Chain A
């Protein structure tokens, strides 16, 4: 679904991403992990065409990603950003409705509004509808924008791409898991999601494969069991850790310290 060959991104003389080669399949849920400053968000921004990277090849669904039109790509790809606007003077359902902006000209259809309702239900934000956006907590705002991003990709196109930059920030444990289940539900329909995560255990539990980034390069891109070894993780994070097994799923569990 995505083929990237020799992608670089640098600011002045410093490479933030260096010779990235990667191939991502459809239907995969991929977690991007790594220490601070490893280039996780930068990589996601490249995938979202937000910054001017250099790449020998970057194809999305067998087409050069730059050949997609500006108003066409929102139907295929959506991004959830790490920092959400603190001040939006709109009703909360109007904010979620923005996800449908690529679909209607002036007035939203009933179907658009139904999709908004549906996703507000799924993200458990429906009860916030009459509250002011600025009064919402960080986690509530976060879920509202998640709903918006999901409504944007609600269409009949196959193999869509969802990019999420730390979607679990500010969320309580229950909502962290509920959110991951929503993402999993999305990738089960043959769509792909790349998620920047900080919690390695959550990553290993949900992701099909992990991208471990370190200093702007891919340390390893493989299944969680192969990526999460004691030696590698303590070397990359420069902090001691031990490895356990999840009692139910048998996935590796990392304990730091």
Chain B
């Protein structure tokens, strides 16, 4: 079993590397030199050519952002599913993504005066803190709504998600309508997501949040497994369940909030990736958590590469691609449910 996991990890890593190299070369702009040459000339001359600008300021940050975003959305999806003991509990379906979008949009519109004065790193930090707060608030609301006596009702969970998404969609739409802000002008950015705005500042911030968050979540495998036995049983195995819940909720909100603030809503990744992995590894979270990170990175990187190359010189919003993958999975989970109800 251990060997098998190692093989999967290695395979996923290799696919990630291949996807990464391919993504470097694909795009609306074709390089005149090899990637390695472009980078080395840039570091010698310290001045940008057209090649090096596209590569270093646009394409590489975007690729890194895709990897980080995919990893973050997948590992939070897996953790939330473990926490709520339900394969439908992904950040977008239960509404925390929408909560983050709402707060991010509000911050951009009403905080624009302040944000222009701040250096980019700080203004991005402010934006992600606000998105984090939005995610946390919705998460708290949804959790309180859906949980009674330690049991989470998945129907209420999903419906709260629908309610929050509707509210967030309306407010974001309205803000987009009245706003003159450049970052808000494009509604599809918020509803279907895009990695086009990536830059090094954002990548650094997301990197810090995602690595700290994932580091904590990766340790939760045993606890999430034990939770399948029930909360009391897990406590008898020595796990502090309340602490775990708080930790997962806060970390997931932080990661989702940060990612959403810069990339908009990229749906279904947190649903699809664990779902695929469960076919092979059942629900062993010790395995699901690390593998979902890598697979999430691979899938989102491929999706983003397709989204920016399929209709050159335009771009297809990435959310369309993830939804195409996600909707069938969503439906098949529902069919599974129906079977169990019989």
Residues of A within 8 A of B (CB): 48, 50, 70-74, 77-79, 81, 83-85, 87-91, 94-95, 98-99, 101-102, 106-107, 152
Determine which of A48, A72, A106 lies in contact with B236 in the assembled complex, contact meaning CB atoms within 8 Å. Answer: A48
Whether B237 and A90, one on each chain, are in contact in the complex, defined by CB atoms closer than 8 angstroms, is no
Min C-beta distance of A227 to chain B, whole Å: 29
Determine which of B233, B238, B284 lies in contact with A81 in the assembled complex, contact meaning CB atoms within 8 Å. Answer: B233
Q: For the complex, is B283 an interface residue (Cβ under 8 Å from A)?
A: yes
Instruction: Check A85/B228 contact, CB under 8 A, given A90-B282, A94-B284, A101-B222.
Output: yes
Q: For the complex, is B188 an interface residue (Cβ under 8 Å from A)?
A: no
Q: A105 to B284: give the CA distance in the assembly, Å.
A: 15
Contacts of B221 in A (CB 8 A): 106
Q: For the complex, is B157 an interface residue (Cβ under 8 Å from A)?
A: no
Whether B238 and A74, one on each chain, are in contact in the complex, defined by CB atoms closer than 8 angstroms, is yes
Total interface residues on B, CB under 8 Å, equals 21
Contacts of A84 in B (CB 8 A): 229
Q: For the complex, is B125 an interface residue (Cβ under 8 Å from A)?
A: no
Q: For the complex, is B46 an interface residue (Cβ under 8 Å from A)?
A: no
Whether A85 and B236, one on each chain, are in contact in the complex, defined by CB atoms closer than 8 angstroms, is no
Min C-beta distance of A89 to chain B, whole Å: 4
Whether B282 and A98, one on each chain, are in contact in the complex, defined by CB atoms closer than 8 angstroms, is no
Determine which of A85, A87, A95, A107 lies in contact with B2 in the assembled complex, contact meaning CB atoms within 8 Å. Answer: A107
Closest to A148 in B: B229
Whether B229 and A98, one on each chain, are in contact in the complex, defined by CB atoms closer than 8 angstroms, is yes
Whether A85 and B225, one on each chain, are in contact in the complex, defined by CB atoms closer than 8 angstroms, is no
Q: For the complex, is B230 an interface residue (Cβ under 8 Å from A)?
A: yes
Contacts of A50 in B (CB 8 A): 232, 235
Min C-beta distance of B223 to chain A, whole Å: 9
Closest to B285 in A: A90
Min C-beta distance of A47 to chain B, whole Å: 11
Q: A88 to B284: give the CA distance in the assembly, Å.
A: 10
Whether B283 and A89, one on each chain, are in contact in the complex, defined by CB atoms closer than 8 angstroms, is yes
Determine which of A48, A81, A89, A101 lies in contact with B237 in the assembled complex, contact meaning CB atoms within 8 Å. Answer: A101
Q: For chains A and B in complex, what number of residue pairs have CB atoms within 8 angstroms?
A: 66
- Chain A binding site: helix, strand, loop or mixed by DSSP? loop
Whether A90 and B228, one on each chain, are in contact in the complex, defined by CB atoms closer than 8 angstroms, is yes
Contacts of A99 in B (CB 8 A): 237
Q: Which of B221, B230, B236, B282 has the most CB of A within 10 A?
A: B236
Determine which of B2, B225, B278 lies in contact with A98 in the assembled complex, contact meaning CB atoms within 8 Å. Answer: B225
Min C-beta distance of B275 to chain A, whole Å: 12
Min C-beta distance of B220 to chain A, whole Å: 12
Instruction: Check A102/B238 contact, CB under 8 A, given A81-B230, A94-B284.
Output: yes
Whether A81 and B228, one on each chain, are in contact in the complex, defined by CB atoms closer than 8 angstroms, is no
Closest to A75 in B: B238
Whether B2 and A101, one on each chain, are in contact in the complex, defined by CB atoms closer than 8 angstroms, is no
Whether B238 and A71, one on each chain, are in contact in the complex, defined by CB atoms closer than 8 angstroms, is yes
Closest to B243 in A: A70
Interface string of B275-300 (1 = CB under 8 A from A): 00010001110100000000000000
Min C-beta distance of A20 to chain B, whole Å: 20
Whether A89 and B232, one on each chain, are in contact in the complex, defined by CB atoms closer than 8 angstroms, is no
Contacts of B2 in A (CB 8 A): 107
Min C-beta distance of A168 to chain B, whole Å: 19
Contacts of B237 in A (CB 8 A): 74, 98-99, 101-102, 152
Instruction: Check A81/B226 contact, CB under 8 A, given A70-B240, A89-B283.
Output: no
Q: Can you report 12 residue pairs joining A to B where beta carbons are below 8 Å apart?
A: A70-B235, A72-B238, A74-B236, A81-B232, A85-B229, A85-B230, A87-B228, A90-B282, A95-B229, A98-B225, A101-B239, A107-B2
Contacts of A106 in B (CB 8 A): 221, 286
Closest to A152 in B: B237
Q: Which 10 A-B pairs have the closest CB atoms?
A: A89-B283, A74-B238, A71-B238, A88-B228, A102-B238, A89-B282, A101-B237, A79-B236, A101-B222, A90-B282
Whether B284 and A90, one on each chain, are in contact in the complex, defined by CB atoms closer than 8 angstroms, is yes
Apart from the given pairs A81-B232, A94-B225, A101-B239, 11 other A-B contacts in the complex at a CB distance below 8 Å: A50-B235, A70-B238, A70-B240, A74-B237, A78-B236, A81-B230, A85-B233, A95-B229, A98-B225, A102-B238, A106-B221
Contacts of B225 in A (CB 8 A): 90, 94, 98, 101
Contacts of A78 in B (CB 8 A): 236
Min C-beta distance of B73 to chain A, whole Å: 22
Determine which of A73, A87, A91, A107 lies in contact with B238 in the assembled complex, contact meaning CB atoms within 8 Å. Answer: A73
Min C-beta distance of A213 to chain B, whole Å: 21
Q: A73 to B236: give the CA distance in the assembly, Å.
A: 8
Q: A99 to B286: give the CA distance in the assembly, Å.
A: 15
Contacts of A85 in B (CB 8 A): 228-230, 233
